[in-house]
Amino acid sequence: MKKTIMLVLGGGGHTKQLLILSDKLKEKYRIEYVIKKGGKKGKKRLEGKIFRILNPRPMDDANIFKTILRLFPYTFQAIKILAKSQAKAIIICGPAISTPIAFLGKIFFRKKLIFIESWSRVKSKSLSGRLIENFSDKIFIQWRKNKNYPKAIFAGRLG
């Protein structure tokens, strides 16, 4: 039986990176995808189980208070998804709003957490990285120059 992994697609370029990765991993693993509800371009051809989750911070309404309010139903949905999931590991690539489900998975569902710092971070550290660094079992940077994570490894770039 193939092992299962979960990819949390963060939208735009974040999604793009994980889809490149999923192409490389799909022979080896069953893949579960978590995508945002109501995304404009949500109809990509994904092979595997798809979970939809509320987006607490849609691009057209990034109001911080509404985001915090939306985190309540989000958390509820995330726990439901994680309870159904068979994944051994969760892989995320940002943005920050994709980190809570990974965090919950790590803390309450004993899933391994793999964080890939976005390819746009040549030298700087993303908010996702700051939030999730200490909970990650494995961290990848995509530029050698990025020295922000003592335990990160460089294994090339997805683009």
Partner 1 sequence: MIFVTVGTGEFEKLVKEADKLSEKIKEEIIIQTGNSKYIPRNAEYFGFTDEFERYVKKAKIIISHGGAGTIFELLEKNKKIIVVANLRRTDKHQTEILEELNKEGCLIYCEDFDLYGALKKAEKFRFKRYKKPECWIDKEIISFLN
13 scored as a contact of partner 1 (CB under 8 A):
yes
Largest CA distance in the chain: 44
User: Residue count at the site for partner 1 (CB under 8 A)?
Assistant: 41
Q: How far is the CB of 6 from partner 1 (least distance, A)?
A: 12
* 8 Å CB contact between 152 and 135: no
Residue 141, beta-bridge partner list: 154
88 scored as a contact of partner 1 (CB under 8 A):
yes
82 burial type by CB count under 10 A (0-12 exposed, 13-18 middle, 19+ buried)? buried
User: Is omega for the bond preceding 150 within 30 degrees of 0, making it cis?
Assistant: no
Site for partner 1 in 129-158 (CB under 8 A): 137-138, 140, 143, 153, 155-158
63 scored as a contact of partner 1 (CB under 8 A):
no
127 scored as a contact of partner 1 (CB under 8 A):
yes
110 scored as a contact of partner 1 (CB under 8 A):
no
CA-based nearest residue to 88, from 74, 107, 106: 106
Two tokens at 62?
């990034």
Beta-carbon contacts of residue 108 (< 8 Å; ≥ 6 apart) = 79, 82
Binding site for partner 1 (CB under 8 A): 3, 5, 11-13, 16-17, 21, 24-25, 28, 40-41, 59-60, 88-89, 91, 95, 112, 114, 116, 118-124, 126-127, 137-138, 140, 143, 153, 155-159
